Structure 1
Amino acid sequence: MLDWAPILIGLLLFILLSPGLLFQLPGNTHHIEFGSFATNVKAVLVHTLLFFCIYTILISALGIHIYTCAKCDMADWGPVIIAVVLFVLLSPGLLFQIPAGGRLIEFGNMQTSGASILVHAIIYFGLITIFLIVIGVHIYTG
């Protein structure tokens, strides 16, 4: 049986914590900005830390596992690491943005939009599903 909870929680957090959508900490001109649809490297790092903390707490507090197995008494860090890495790599505007203003793609423009967050969230969903369900990446600690 497949457990989609780590994927859906990661997807929701990816959307809600994308710098510039709801808020950006730190902002480009203020300590915190709301709905600016812009980003910067510091904001991506702060939002990545927030993503990591919230995702780890939710996964641990809810006792979510990818599947039942002989190793289930061990902590599986695979979902956390994959989700955090994808959050950084797919943050709209940091490495790339799809769509970008009047262009299909731009690289490192530090901008975002609702459409970009939606497209990047779809890419996030596809990749995290591949890594966690199809490939089954697990990192056990004990």
Structure 2
Amino acid sequence: MTDWGPVFVAVVLFILLSPGLLFQIPGKSRFVEFSNFQTSGPSILLEAKNDDAHGRLMRDPLWYLQKEKKKKFLFKISDEERRKMSDWGPVFVAVVLFILLTPGLLIQVPGKSRAIEFGNFQTSGVSILVHSIIYFALICILLLAIGIHMYVGS
């Protein structure tokens, strides 16, 4: 049985937290701007950090390295070991894809004046929709088809 919950939550959060759709923190001229369809590097990092499910990974990127005794990246583990560990694979995949696919940071499809624009820090409703579809496809492939897991002991 496939667990679609993480995929659904990740895609909804990708859409809602895309900088410039509902709000942007920090904005271009004010601290908070609403529905300006613009973005920036700091906005993308802050929006990715806003979600509690993704927050710990964004706040403490060295968390894995600091917990040497508890760090375990295992390919084959028993069911008993799995119950004692946290699977950070979906969180890591969702955060990395969120940052890379936020419209306007690396790429915007469709762009304002061309089909594809690179690093313009602009977005639009259509761009958010297209990027959300790409995000959904990639997260399904990585989490459901391939099944990326990163087990970390608690």
TM range (shorter): 0.7 to 0.9
Match of 1:102 in 2: 113
Residue 142 (structure 2) pairs with residue 134 (structure 1): no
Q: 3-state DSSP class of the match of 2:139?
A: helix
Match of 2:6 in 1: 6
Per the normalisation by structure 1, the TM-score is 0.87
In structure 2, C-alpha distance between the alignment counterparts of 1:124 and 1:138, rounded to whole Å: 18
Please state how far the C-alpha of 1:41 moved relative to its aligned partner: 1.1
Per the normalisation by structure 2, the TM-score is 0.80
Query: 5+ unaligned residues in a row in structure 1: which ranges?
Result: 58-68
Match of 1:112 in 2: 123
Match of 2:23 in 1: 23
In structure 2, C-alpha distance between the alignment counterparts of 1:72 and 1:96, rounded to whole Å: 39
Equivalent position amino acid for 2:48 in 1:
T
Equivalent position amino acid for 2:137 in 1:
G
Q: 3-state DSSP class of the match of 1:2?
A: coil
Which residue, 80, 100, 107 being the options, matches 1:89?
Answer: 100
In structure 2, C-alpha distance between the alignment counterparts of 1:44 and 1:26, rounded to whole Å: 10
Q: 3-state DSSP class of the match of 2:23?
A: coil
Query: 5+ unaligned residues in a row in structure 2: which ranges?
Result: 57-77
Equivalent position amino acid for 1:2 in 2:
T
Please state how far the C-alpha of 1:54 moved relative to its aligned partner: 4.3
Please state how far the C-alpha of 1:136 moved relative to its aligned partner: 0.5
User: RMSD over aligned Cα, in angstroms?
Assistant: 1.5
In structure 1, C-alpha distance between the alignment counterparts of 2:55 and 2:100, rounded to whole Å: 18
Equivalent position amino acid for 1:124 in 2:
Y
Equivalent position amino acid for 1:34 in 2:
F
Contact 1:76–1:139 at 8 Å: present in 2 too? yes
**Rg larger for:** 2
Report the number of matched residues.
Answer: 130
Match of 1:33 in 2: 33
